A and B are shown apart, each in its own frame.
Chain A
Amino acid sequence: MKIVVDFDLCQSHGLCTEAAPELFELRDDGFLYVLSDTPAPELERKAEKAALECPVGAITLKDE
């Protein structure tokens, strides 16, 4: 799985950082950072949750 964030869409709601703190971080500069765009298999469910809960649909998951 590969995580792709569309940063033109991202508005730093930050819900992904709660769904998958291992993969996403919102830093004090107000921007979202992807900590790992190729999640380990045990984190894929969290990545899916983050994508579904993103209010602006900025997170896409691609099969590798």
Chain B
Amino acid sequence: MQRVVIVGASLAGLRAAQALRKRSFAGSITLIGEEPHAPYDRPPLSKQLLSGEWPAEKLFFHNREKHDALELEQRVGVAARSLSVSTNEVELANGERVPYDGLIIATGARTRQLAAAKDLAGVYCLRTLDDALAIRAALEHKPRVVVVGAGFIGLEVAASCRKLGLAVTVVEPQTLPLLGPLGAAAARSVHELHRGHSVEFHLGRAVTAVQGTGRVERLLLDDGSALDCDLLVVGIGVDPETRWLAGSGVALEARGGGVICDSTLATNVPNIVAAGDVVRWPNAGNSERVSVPHWSNAVEQGQAAATRLLEGPSTAPFTHMPYFWSDQYDRKLQSAGSVRGSDVFEVVQGSLEAASFVGLYSRDDRLTGVLSSNAPAAFLRARKLIAQTAPLSEARAAFAIR
């Protein structure tokens, strides 16, 4: 293998490139990215960048890691348009064709738009550095902010706006913020946290219309209420960015369009692997294919996909314990393992009303996941127990003794 092409110049793609070199791959590595930027870190976008604490320069990986020895050929600011698996070429938006011997698909995901807000100014999604810089600039005019979608991005935007002293209203079709990722009990505490910081909520409500002449002025909800608004941030989820793979022969999920991978992150096409938010794979021996669109998974999958490309089908299966965190006001929430499918959530340290707590998710008396707030050492302890799928009694004991 002489030429590896990585499509997607974000975290998974960069970590894949680094892993190739670490494994002494001496051929060429071409990193193709749609955004006009070198690889940068996304988590601070909704936090330190939006609140103005950090300049954009602080996000670029090359400012905190040595990249010279990687000898990457970076092609940023140009998207991949299509893939030919018969000629082994990626076609770029400018018509250029880039040949490969091995291909790593790491194109991530794109934000869902709110159809009702189409073509209005003052409406933003937050995924990219340019999105975040545009929102930050708009925030300087002290707008009345409405956030649609009480997921992690939406709530972090709300928290950052409150930090800047701006009025924020959050609209969410579910009855609580973060209900899916956290479960009802913890979701209620997040709701209270934001209400305590004067965020106004419209829960269980859908947007029926977005009004304005040229720019957003008002949202109408399905209960008839109207929200005046100068800036609308839409955080209603993402879809895998695989439009460029349509018809290429790389198998995609019929539902959602993610790249179908086996347990080693290989696609159905030889010498093509995938990493990051774009991937659907059978994690940890499960038959169901899942996506884990979090930072640590992108890192580990980038490394694993690179290894798979170099070492072939005998590579060990890639397994991952999901990990994510979220910073909101003075809270650092950390979650590991799986909430879905758990039937019990119990707090084993602190309380949900306090700033610091640890809660365990379990099913059939087996630990499946943990959520903590401002309790990093206890969180790590729980994480280790999840890795061992410890019985709940053992996990309880590990906390009770402290």
B110 contacts the other chain (CB 8 A)? no
Chain B residue with minimal CB distance to A45? B22
Known: A52-B15, A53-B296, A60-B64. A13 touches B325 (CB 8 A): yes
CB neighbours (8 Å) of B61 from chain A are 57
Across the interface, do A13 and B41 meet the contact criterion of CB distance under 8 Å? no
Indicate the member of B300, B380, B402 with the most A CB atoms within 10 Å.
B380
Task: Answer whether residue B376 sits at the interface, using C-beta atoms and an 8 A cutoff.
Answer: yes
B377 and A55 within 8 A (CB): no
Interfacial chain B residues near A55, Cβ < 8 Å: 43, 295-296, 325
What does DSSP make chain B's interface, helix, strand, loop or mixed? Answer: helix
Question: How far, in Å, is A10 (CB) from chain B's closest CB?
Answer: 10
B18 cross-chain contacts in A, Cβ below 8 A: 52
Contact: A57 with B65, CB < 8 Å? yes
Q: Could you tell me if A26 and B377 are in contact, using CB atoms closer than 8 angstroms?
A: yes
Question: Which residue on A lies nearest to B15, using beta carbons?
Answer: A52
Does A13 contact B376, Cβ atoms closer than 8 Å? Answer: yes
Contact check: which of B43, B323, B377 meets A29 at CB < 8 Å?
B377
User: Which residues of the partner chain B approach A14 to less than 8 Å between Cβ atoms?
Assistant: 376-377, 379-380
Q: B296 to A11, Cβ gap below 8 A?
A: no
**CB closest residue in chain B, given A55:** B295
Number of B residues with CB within 8 Å of any CB on chain A? 25
B334 at the interface (CB under 8 A from A): yes
**CB of A28 within 8 A of chain B?**
yes
Scan B274-309; emit 1 where CB is below 8 A from any A CB, else 0. Answer: 000000000000000000000110011001000000
Q: Quick check: is A5 within 8 A (CB to CB) of the other chain?
A: no
| CA A15 to CA B384, docked complex, whole Å | 11
Whether a CB of chain B sits under 8 angstroms from the CB of A17 is yes
Q: B348 near A: Cβ within 8 Å?
A: no
Q: Quick check: is B375 within 8 A (CB to CB) of the other chain?
A: yes
Given the complex, which residues of A lie within 8 Å of B299, measured CB to CB? 52-53
What residue in chain A is nearest B324 (Cβ atoms)? Answer: A55
Which chain B residue lies CB-closest to A59? B64
CB neighbours of A18 from chain B (8 A): 380, 383
Among A17, A51, A52, A57, the residue within 8 A (CB) of B380 is A17
For residue B332, CB closer than 8 A to chain A, the reply is: yes
Per-residue B-contact encoding for A1-12, CB less than 8 Å = 1, 0 else: 000000000011
CA of A60 to CA of B139, assembled, Å: 34
Asked whether A57 and B41 contact (CB < 8 A) given A17-B380, A28-B377, the answer is yes
1/0 contact trace for B369-402 toward A, CB 8 Å?
0000011110110010000000000000000001
Q: CB-CB < 8 A to A60: which residues of B?
A: 64
Residues of B within 8 A of A17 (CB): 380
Residues from chain A with Cβ under 8 Å of B43 in the complex: 55
Report the minimal beta-carbon distance from B303 to chain A, rounded to whole angstroms.
8
A27-38: CB near B (< 8 Å → 1, else 0) gives 111100000000
B295: nearest residue on chain A (CB-CB)?
A: A55
Contact in complex: A30, B296 (CB < 8 Å): no
B43, B332, B377, B383: which has the most chain A beta carbons within 10 Å?
B377
8 Å CB contact of A26 from B22, B41, B295, B380: B380
Q: List 19 A-B contacts (CB under 8 A).
A: A12-B377, A13-B325, A13-B376, A14-B376, A18-B383, A26-B376, A26-B380, A28-B402, A30-B374, A30-B375, A30-B376, A48-B22, A51-B65, A52-B15, A52-B299, A53-B296, A55-B43, A55-B296, A57-B65
15 extra A-B contacts, CB within 8 A, seeds A13-B334, A13-B376, A52-B299: A12-B376, A12-B377, A14-B376, A18-B383, A28-B402, A29-B377, A30-B374, A30-B376, A52-B18, A52-B303, A53-B300, A55-B43, A55-B295, A55-B325, A57-B41
Nearest 8 CB-CB pairs, A to B?
A12-B376, A57-B64, A14-B380, A28-B377, A30-B376, A26-B377, A53-B299, A55-B295
